[in-house]
A and B are shown apart, each in its own frame.
Chain A
Amino acid sequence: GENVEQHPSTLSVQEGDSAVIKCTYSDSASNYFPWYKQELGKRPQLIIDIRSNVGEKKDQRIAVTLNKTAKHFSLHITETQPEDSAVYFCAASKREGFKTIFGAGTRLFVKA
Chain B
Amino acid sequence: DAMVIQNPRYQVTQFGKPVTLSCSQTLNHNVMYWYQQKSSQAPKLLFHYYDKDFNNEADTPDNFQSRRPNTSFCFLDIRSPGLGDAAMYLCATSSRAAGSGYTFGSGTRLTVV
Q: Do B101 and A34 touch (CB < 8 A)?
A: yes
Give A29-71 interface residues, CB cut-off 8 Å to B: 32, 34, 36, 42-46, 49
Given A32-B99, A49-B100, A95-B99, also A102-B43 (CB < 8 A): yes
Q: Shortest CB–CB separation between residue A91 and chain B, in angstroms?
A: 8
**Which residue of B is nearest A100, CB measured?**
B102
Taken together as a complex, chains A and B put the C-alpha atoms of A34 and B41 apart, in Å, by 17
Chain B: number of interface residues, binned into ranges: 20 to 34
Chain B residues within 8 Å of A36, by CB: 101-102
Q: CB-CB < 8 A to B107: which residues of A? A: 43
Q: Determine whether B40 belongs to the interface, using a CB cutoff of 8 Å to chain A.
A: yes
User: Is the beta-carbon distance between A98 and B48 smaller than 8 angstroms?
Assistant: yes
B106 touches A105 (CB 8 A): no
B104 near A43 with CB under 8 A, answer yes
The verdict on A89 contacting chain B, using a C-beta distance below 8 Å, is: yes
Binary contact readout A63-107 vs B (1 if CB under 8 angstroms, 0 otherwise): 000000000000000000000000101000001001111111101
CB-CB under 8 A from A101, the residues of chain B are: 45
User: Does B94 contact A103, Cβ atoms closer than 8 Å?
Assistant: no
Q: B42 touching A89 by the CB < 8 A rule?
A: yes
Q: Most chain-A CB neighbours within 10 Å: which of B31, B48, B99?
A: B99
B100 (CB) vs chain A CBs: closest residue: A49
Interface hub of A32, A99, A105 (most chain B Cβ within 10 A): A99
How many angstroms from the CA of A32 to the CA of B48 in the assembled complex? 18
The residue of chain B having its C-beta at the shortest distance from the C-beta of A98 within the complex is B31
Q: Which residues of A contact B110 (CB under 8 A)?
A: none
Cα A97 to Cα B90 with chains together (Å): 19
* Complex A-B, nearest 5 residue pairs according to Cβ-Cβ distance, in ascending order: A46-B101, A102-B42, A43-B104, A34-B101, A104-B42
Residue numbers of A with Cβ under 8 A of B are 32, 34, 36, 42-46, 49, 87, 89, 95, 98-105, 107
Question: Apart from A42-B106, A45-B104, what 16 extra A-B contacts exist at CB < 8 Å?
Answer: A32-B100, A32-B101, A36-B101, A43-B90, A43-B107, A46-B101, A89-B42, A98-B94, A98-B99, A99-B48, A99-B55, A101-B45, A104-B42, A105-B40, A105-B41, A105-B42
